[in-house]
Structure 1
Amino acid sequence: MSILVQDSNKTACRAAEAGLQQKNCAALVRPAGTGKGCIVWELLDAHPEMRVLWVVSCAARLELRRALTKRLGRTLGGRVRLMSCEQLAVQNALGWVALAEFRPGLLVLDGWREMSAKDWTDCVQPLFRLCPGAKLLALGEPDAPGDSCRAAEEMLADAIVEPLALGGAMAEGLLPMPASYTALLWPLEDGMARLRAEVKNLHLPGCPDPNAEKYQALSLAVEKLPPVEQLLAQWLPDAAGRYLVLCEDDAAAAQTAEQAEKLFGAGTHIYKDAEGFAADEAATLRLLVCANGPAVQSPLAGISGVVLVRRSAGPAAYRQMLARALAACGSVPVAELSAAFEALTCVQQLRKECSAAGAEAFPLEEPLSACRRAYRQLRRALDSDWERYYAAAKQMTAEGKTLDVPRSYRFGGVAVGRWLENQRLVRAGKKKGRLTAEQAARLDKIGMNWKKRLELAWENGCASARRYRGSHSDLLVPVHYKDKDGFALGEWIVYNRQRYLSGNLPSDRVERLEALGMVWDTGSILWEKSYAAAVQYYLENHTLEIPVKYVTPDGMALGVWLGSQRAAYKEGVLTDAQIEKLEALEVDWTNRNDRKWQTAYEAAVKYHAAHGNLDVPTEYTDEDGILLGKWVSRQRYAWQNPERSSARVTPERKALLDELGMNWEKTDSWQHRYELAVEYKKEHGSLAVPAQYRTEDGIWLGSWLSRQKQMLREGKKLSTERRAALKELFKGEKGRRLSAPVPPACSVREQNWLDNYQSARLYAEKKGSLLVPAGYVDENGFRLGVWISNLRAARKARPGSFQVTPEHIALLDAIGMQWDAREAKWAGAFRRAEEYCAAHGDLLVPVNYKTEDGFCLGDWVRRMRENYACAEKKLTAERIAKLEALGMVWTVPQEG
């Protein structure tokens, strides 16, 4: 059953669902208290398998969402995790890895327009990197005062679905309308002072001031007003009730609390916390005075009315405050205390919006109607004067003149110089007055320079950076980059980074650049991107033992990067935070050779525990595939020949091996083999050892016997004792050599060819093919790899050669000779690709994948893609067609 009641929210929910499906991103922009949280839970109910990470802007909004969860009977902590930006900011490295391991399918950014640029950089962007497959749902309010993070605005501007304004929310019943509304001015002195300054700024000394009379009329209307205390007393629906006094900011809240008794009467109980306010049952006026914030919209029971205290005239803050107050208190009388005359128009615009949406506007009481009429007359006169000055300035620029003129400058009898200076001072906050955003924009359009020359140059750079950010989504500007106007933006960015790092960049410029997404340390953002890839590898493989040549699907050389981090750690240049993050992934800081040695040593420990010694046969391989026999031999050789060995046996390593009983002296291998031959003869009755025979410890006994016979015949390299031992061993043995049958009248050359052929036949029987490595030597010492290579070359270049007569070719074909080795190797790799495709349904082979026979299929598929991308000739059209028939994807698809 749906938890959504209003049709508007149901429509918004469907639109958000469609946005997530089509673009992986959707933003709901609706006033506070209209049910955005319920829309999220409706989406979650529709996708019970989806994991969700719900990030809110602040602690107050966190409590709101927890309360909503409890009210709806939902639970957190299983598939839905709720966190604030403050909690994310203090996460340690293990905490961030745990969030990545959670693998959310949806990220909810709740209150994204309240998130600062720092929140976006420190919290949100790391989530995007660590959760690359997650969709994004953003919740925001349409009337968010102040500057939100530009990066967030730019990212979500095109993702907003079914936006809803405050008037529309009231008309549709998502928010209650005020029972009544009264607009008052407080303190009057501030508003009058600003108007007086504006009149003065437009008046020329020594000339009649046409605005003075209108200002005086407004002053008389204000003087006739009853005190604001009296007006408030007349408005109060219940003199002993509870009231929410909602202030625009902390300064306004402090001022209001300080003067609350003067405004509302002596004996008024004033609270700053809702708990004490709710517990007060006294029969007197009780006020909850608080600043505007998400916590305000928590429901309050028994409220008699709301007082809005405003310091600015902007409609955004007003609408947000009213929406939150109505969400908390319901349809109650509302009084507004504004410090600016311009603010009196906001409520009228809201009533028109409600009427346009098809609802009857709420009742409005106007005790200041006379003041408002006088203000409108003065405002029209002031605006008319402003337009007169602006027209003169615009005409100046049309005639090619600059607006950088002295204060005394006049144009057509108009004191434009003085007026322009006043506009600059008002905008800079150095002089009281009024300059709207629209007026400032019009002056910008005609070339107004608001700053001095150096300040103007900085503003031009900032504008160029803003344009670059809009096009590239970051400020990682190449150092030599120039924009379309020729401005050297890359150098400007570097200059500002240097000033920031040296502490010489003003704080206001720091804030403006950070709002654009400025990265002060470019290396850090690149490091974070690589680290995020390392996290994904760790989560998939449960280790950070990354092959040096490993490259991520999007082209990042992750293996090389990790090696550089180990080197940086050794040199002491990694930060503590970077070390903590990598150690959260269980990184091993030792170098690759040390880690390989340690792994082999642990295998040696296991062997010693099982056999009681370290006399490991040379060809011994343990169950994990470690060539332990060769490793032990290499340690012995390295210790005996340190100057000739690439391996290193440090004293520490030697001590570890000594504990296992390592025998560092080279054993008499000749005596050992002789004893094996004696045993073989005793067991089999002869020394007719098959060519492929190997002893248990991996010794090719037949090859050794063949060499001993040769040495005995030649009388070389044998001591008297060994010669006598061999004569005794071979006594009674007939001269025997495994060879092909010799035809009658066979020449010596032919006999040699047939002997070589016999070696090739044995290899084919053993390996299943004649793809013999070029360096291969058989057990009799014959260089079979070279012979096979020579046969291929002879048939290709010298087809009449004795090596490849038709009879020879027939014999070789009978045992599976592949005359084109490259083609045969490709065919073998393709056969394995076919087997992989049959088993997995695709050719998306992991780059480090090996087949059961040890073939690196993943690397082969990668090389085929590289050949395709480079239009390599050896990847023929026929081969391309065969691969595509298996479903080859030439561009690796990105995840998420």
Structure 2
Amino acid sequence: MILHKHNSETYANMVSLFQTEQRVAAVQPTGTGKSYLIMQLIEDNADKHFAVCSPSTYIFEQMKLLADENCISFENTDFLTYTKLAQTDAFSKYNYIVLDEFHRCGADEWGQGVQRLLDGNPNAKVFGTSATPIRYLDSGRNMADELFNGVYAVNMSLAEAIRRKILPLPVYVTSWYSFRGDIEQLEMKAEQSGNPRLKNALLGKIRKAKSMIAELDVGIEKIFEKHIRNRAGKFIVFCPSVEQLQRMVNECDLWFTKVNHDIHKYTVYAQNSASDKQFEDFRNDKSESALKLLFCIDMLNEGVHFDDVDGVIMLRATQSANVFYQQLGRTLACSDSKKKPLIFDIVNNYETGDTAQQYAGFMEIAHGEGEYDDEIEFELYDYVRDIREILNELNDTFANSWDFNFELIKEYAEKYNAFPDVNTSYEGVLIGRWATYQRTLNNQDKLSKERVKKLNSIGFPWDVNEAVWQAFYEELKSIIRSLGHFPKKSEFGDDKKNLYGWLTAQKFKHRIGELEEEKAEKLIALGCKMTKGKKESWDENFEKLSEFVEQHGRFPDNSDANSDPENKVIYVWANSQRTAKNRGQLSDERIAKLDSIGFQWDKHEAEWANAFEMLKSYFSERESLPGSNEVVDGYKLGKWYQRQVDLYLAGNMQAYRAERFQEAGIPLENLRQRRKNEVFMKYYDSYMEYLQKFGKHPISSERYNDLDLVKWRCTQMQKKKQGKLTDELAALLMYICKDI
């Protein structure tokens, strides 16, 4: 298989690292060919057994097509979705485990399934791929550090991929298909105005705006006509909801009448049972006469690429740069083709939140000096700039004064306990845009101190991130008012997972000294337990970890983290110490303190040791072993023990672990054998009791303790002759039968 230059370099790094490391990660942007690395690894190790894991069966189908094209055999390869892993307890034995989109392994259920797979294959080499390894809503966990100990074959950003011309810069067309509705809303508001002078001024500008829009002639259908040169092209249409998707499928024909009347439409979303077939039909549609449109929501946001897709159409407005680039990434792919993908942004994502900042980075790349001599050409067609200016002018006139807008945004904040984002319209006025303009003026020192003071008086956030923080804070306050106390984790509910993730992140940031004191004080005032100061935080967390170990005889694991927010903080903190040590950022003093309590620097070894200590306590207290489905303190101890038995019986358990079981007197036997042994010992104990009581062997007509001891003895003797008894049981049998 022929790899592109950048992937050849990455693959060589990976092979070299696998000489000394067991786990290696490749972090590179969507479209740069991560699947090719996986295929090359499988091809070069055709005699090895592979487990390839990913979030989606669509990704597997794409891999299989790639393998067919390059004559790569999957004879020794198993494909497992993370959902399937979460539902599986026993796994085959693998030489290599591939974790595609490994950032998804941070999810609780999926993570447990992956951990079981890794535990069941302790000697397997693990290769992971991802474009975004950091889980920002989960305490900022870096899954490359957690799963791969920070060992990278490559760590490439999107900007670097574009600068090196691995990925193309797309042709970006931005429009705003709802602007006519916005003007009509303003016109209705103007008609209702009680101020005749303001009403006349507004209606005059609205008439002028409509005239200018007519002259601009920027209907969506004409934009598509101008830029879609291939009338038989393929496009992916991202929609915000099922309702919107279904509406667009029915209404979109008018948009493309000037491109093609013959349109093949496909829909893919979770609730659609025909999604798999629709996906394949779209992929295989090679019609040279029809325009092909695939309408979807989130199912294609990750890991799926099409060589022949001409572009994407964004109908989903988002402030998330991650979502924006996942959508954009469906058309980005490294190839020798000079074709530039088309991005139709008709919901004004270009100017929204983090996306605008990220895309500004593209512009910088486009106009800066890269490592190549020729310039990178950047094409941006903004058809709504003039219309935005008209709407801004209308809004300014409608508001008529700074104080009017201030009162409007104050009213909005009181009503919704949050501040508007950039595209928010309230009472017919784009107050979100006005708020953004105030931030711009303030950054340029052009906003008077009096106005800054007034905005501060209502808690106005001076940056977008501050607005998000304030929105979560107000949501938390609302829950506290409703409950009458600070909520426990169980009281957040499934619809408040993002809020709980945000709160956990604030606690963690405060513990490492990265949360502003003012914000910490606001949370403390609500009843949130916070610690102070970075050094004090480290010492406090160390003490909490020590207390946990003293109380439980082990270190916290994932089940502890899931059962209690405070335990989660300790668990995440402990993981962060491992990361800090791997990066050389942990002092010798702190390393020594952690060593003093037996801290396990290898996370996976720590989790094994925790489970073993739990099993020891169970065995000591109950003189029995857990059933396969038994859960202890929220941990699936029975399944863990059974995995250890499977490893031992298959000869895959490390020697020192087997020794620990032997030292603790805990047998390593499967459930069926254990039950056989228990039955054997029940009869054996009764037989010994009979011998001691009567001084002779039982006869066939007798029963003792309601057991037929003679029949049992004869059966066991027969099994011994057939070699069906273990050496231990055979020795016990011969002891009671020595004088027969």
TM-score category of the 2 structures, normalised to the smaller one: 0.5 to 0.7
The answer as to 2:528 corresponding to 1:457 is yes
Q: Aligned partners of 2:550 and 2:690: how far apart in 1?
A: 54
**Change in CA separation of 1:289 and 1:551 when aligned onto 2, cut-off 3 Å:** closer
Q: Aligned partners of 1:264 and 1:469: how far apart in 2?
A: 63
Q: Please give the per-residue CA displacement for 1:781-836, whole angstroms capped at 9, x wherever unaligned.
A: xxxxxxxxxxxxxxxxxxxxxxxxxxxxxxxxxxxxxxxxxxxxxxxxxxxxxxxx
2:78 maps to a residue whose letter is R
1:43 aligned residue: 41
Deviation at 1:9, TM superposition (A): 0.8
**Change in CA separation of 1:541 and 1:153 when aligned onto 2, cut-off 3 Å:** closer
Between Structure 1 and Structure 2, whose CA radius of gyration is higher?
1
1:728-747 equivalences under 5 Å are: none
**Change in CA separation of 1:659 and 1:192 when aligned onto 2, cut-off 3 Å:** same
Q: Please give the per-residue CA displacement for 1:398-436, whole angstroms capped at 9, x wherever unaligned.
A: xxxxxxxxxxxx9995563422599565345879xxxxx
Partner SS, residue 34 of structure 1 = coil
2:519 maps to a residue whose letter is M
Partner SS, residue 448 of structure 1 = helix
The 8 Å contact of residues 264 and 290 in structure 2, kept in 1 or not, is answered as: yes
Q: Aligned partners of 1:139 and 1:287: how far apart in 2?
A: 29
Q: Aligned partners of 1:450 and 1:186: how far apart in 2?
A: 44
1:569 aligned residue: none
1:547 aligned residue: none
| Equivalent of 2:83 in 83, 86, 89 | 86
**Change in CA separation of 1:533 and 1:593 when aligned onto 2, cut-off 3 Å:** same
**Change in CA separation of 1:653 and 1:849 when aligned onto 2, cut-off 3 Å:** closer
Q: Aligned partners of 1:495 and 1:321: how far apart in 2?
A: 33
Partner SS, residue 162 of structure 1 = strand
The answer as to 2:344 corresponding to 1:335 is yes
2:55 aligned residue: 57
Partner SS, residue 319 of structure 1 = helix
Q: Aligned partners of 1:653 and 1:318: how far apart in 2?
A: 74
Deviation at 1:107, TM superposition (A): 1.6
Q: Aligned partners of 2:539 and 2:256: how far apart in 1?
A: 53
1:706-745 equivalences under 5 Å are: none
Q: Aligned partners of 2:716 and 2:55: how far apart in 1?
A: 64
Deviation at 1:276, TM superposition (A): 4.5
The answer as to 2:106 corresponding to 1:108 is no
1:361 maps to a residue whose letter is E
The 8 Å contact of residues 51 and 105 in structure 1, kept in 2 or not, is answered as: yes
Deviation at 1:131, TM superposition (A): 1.3
Q: Aligned partners of 2:105 and 2:704: how far apart in 1?
A: 57
The 8 Å contact of residues 182 and 336 in structure 1, kept in 2 or not, is answered as: yes
Q: Aligned partners of 1:262 and 1:144: how far apart in 2?
A: 41
Deviation at 1:639, TM superposition (A): 6.6
1:243 aligned residue: 234
Q: Aligned partners of 1:558 and 1:188: how far apart in 2?
A: 75
Q: Aligned partners of 1:661 and 1:587: how far apart in 2?
A: 15
2:458 maps to a residue whose letter is R
Q: Aligned partners of 1:372 and 1:346: how far apart in 2?
A: 21
Q: Please give the per-residue CA displacement for 1:486-522, whole angstroms capped at 9, x wherever unaligned.
A: xxx99xx98983799xxxx9xx99xx99x99999964
Query: Greater shift after overlay, 518-527 or 29-38?
Result: 518-527
Q: Aligned partners of 1:111 and 1:158: how far apart in 2?
A: 16
Q: Aligned partners of 2:44 and 2:288: how far apart in 1?
A: 48
Q: Aligned partners of 1:253 and 1:475: how far apart in 2?
A: 53
Q: Aligned partners of 2:257 and 2:31: how far apart in 1?
A: 32
Q: Aligned partners of 2:358 and 2:441: how far apart in 1?
A: 24
1:17 aligned residue: 15
Deviation at 1:552, TM superposition (A): 3.1
Partner SS, residue 326 of structure 1 = coil
Deviation at 1:116, TM superposition (A): 4.9
Deviation at 1:109, TM superposition (A): 0.5
The 8 Å contact of residues 222 and 371 in structure 1, kept in 2 or not, is answered as: no
**Change in CA separation of 1:237 and 1:291 when aligned onto 2, cut-off 3 Å:** same
2:220 aligned residue: 229
2:646 maps to a residue whose letter is V
The 8 Å contact of residues 24 and 128 in structure 2, kept in 1 or not, is answered as: yes
Partner SS, residue 113 of structure 1 = helix
The 8 Å contact of residues 309 and 337 in structure 1, kept in 2 or not, is answered as: yes
The answer as to 2:318 corresponding to 1:309 is no
The answer as to 2:629 corresponding to 1:589 is no
Query: Greater shift after overlay, 451-460 or 114-123?
Result: 451-460
Partner SS, residue 652 of structure 1 = coil
The 8 Å contact of residues 154 and 470 in structure 1, kept in 2 or not, is answered as: no
| Equivalent of 1:383 in 439, 454, 474 | 439
Task: Give the superposed CA RMSD.
Answer: 5.9
The answer as to 2:268 corresponding to 1:270 is no
The 8 Å contact of residues 246 and 290 in structure 1, kept in 2 or not, is answered as: yes
| Equivalent of 1:426 in 452, 467, 471 | 471
Partner SS, residue 32 of structure 1 = coil
2:628 aligned residue: none
**Change in CA separation of 1:306 and 1:275 when aligned onto 2, cut-off 3 Å:** same
The 8 Å contact of residues 52 and 97 in structure 2, kept in 1 or not, is answered as: yes
Q: Please give the per-residue CA displacement for 1:561-607, whole angstroms capped at 9, x wherever unaligned.
A: 449xx9xxxxxxxxxxxxxxx53xx4322555825967x99xxxxxx
Q: Aligned partners of 2:63 and 2:561: how far apart in 1?
A: 44
| TM-score, length of structure 2 as denominator length | 0.56
Deviation at 1:140, TM superposition (A): 0.5
**Change in CA separation of 1:658 and 1:297 when aligned onto 2, cut-off 3 Å:** closer
| Equivalent of 1:641 in 685, 695, 711 | 695
Deviation at 1:38, TM superposition (A): 1.8
Q: Aligned partners of 1:658 and 1:446: how far apart in 2?
A: 76
The answer as to 2:407 corresponding to 1:367 is no
| Equivalent of 1:129 in 119, 125, 145 | 119
2:674 maps to a residue whose letter is D
2:563 maps to a residue whose letter is R
Q: Please give the per-residue CA displacement for 1:186-205, whole angstroms capped at 9, x wherever unaligned.
A: 44599999xxxxxxxxxxxx
Q: Please give the per-residue CA displacement for 1:307-342, whole angstroms capped at 9, x wherever unaligned.
A: 233411333222222222234996343322234433
Q: Please give the per-residue CA displacement for 1:124-175, whole angstroms capped at 9, x wherever unaligned.
A: 1112221112222111114889747937354146223322233433454544
Partner SS, residue 589 of structure 1 = helix
> What's the % identity of the aligned pairs?
12
1:654 maps to a residue whose letter is L
Deviation at 1:13, TM superposition (A): 0.8
**Change in CA separation of 1:525 and 1:259 when aligned onto 2, cut-off 3 Å:** same
Q: Which runs of 5+ in 2 are unaligned?
A: 185-201, 268-277, 393-421, 423-432, 477-501, 577-602, 612-630, 698-702, 718-725, 729-740
Q: Which runs of 5+ in 1 are unaligned?
A: 194-212, 394-409, 432-436, 482-488, 543-549, 567-581, 602-630, 663-847, 851-896
1:416 aligned residue: 456
**Change in CA separation of 1:450 and 1:56 when aligned onto 2, cut-off 3 Å:** farther
The answer as to 2:523 corresponding to 1:448 is no
Q: Aligned partners of 2:343 and 2:112: how far apart in 1?
A: 40
2:623 aligned residue: none
1:727-876 equivalences under 5 Å are: none
Q: Please give the per-residue CA displacement for 1:246-282, whole angstroms capped at 9, x wherever unaligned.
A: 3165456456435524544596553213444455859
**Change in CA separation of 1:175 and 1:499 when aligned onto 2, cut-off 3 Å:** closer
**Change in CA separation of 1:223 and 1:559 when aligned onto 2, cut-off 3 Å:** farther
The 8 Å contact of residues 9 and 39 in structure 1, kept in 2 or not, is answered as: yes
1:158 maps to a residue whose letter is G
Q: Aligned partners of 2:663 and 2:100: how far apart in 1?
A: 34
Q: Aligned partners of 1:5 and 1:260: how far apart in 2?
A: 40
2:381 maps to a residue whose letter is E
1:536-547 equivalences under 5 Å are: 536-540=647-651
Partner SS, residue 18 of structure 2 = helix
The 8 Å contact of residues 315 and 345 in structure 2, kept in 1 or not, is answered as: yes
The answer as to 2:206 corresponding to 1:150 is no
**Change in CA separation of 1:425 and 1:165 when aligned onto 2, cut-off 3 Å:** closer
Partner SS, residue 29 of structure 2 = coil
Partner SS, residue 21 of structure 1 = coil
Q: Aligned partners of 1:109 and 1:475: how far apart in 2?
A: 34
1:70-85 equivalences under 5 Å are: 70-78=68-76, 80-85=77-82
Q: Aligned partners of 1:58 and 1:280: how far apart in 2?
A: 24
**Change in CA separation of 1:106 and 1:450 when aligned onto 2, cut-off 3 Å:** farther
Partner SS, residue 331 of structure 1 = coil
Higher relative contact order (CA 8 A, sep 6+): 2
Q: Aligned partners of 1:475 and 1:285: how far apart in 2?
A: 64
Q: Aligned partners of 1:386 and 1:135: how far apart in 2?
A: 54
**Change in CA separation of 1:414 and 1:250 when aligned onto 2, cut-off 3 Å:** closer
The answer as to 2:677 corresponding to 1:552 is no
The answer as to 2:711 corresponding to 1:656 is yes
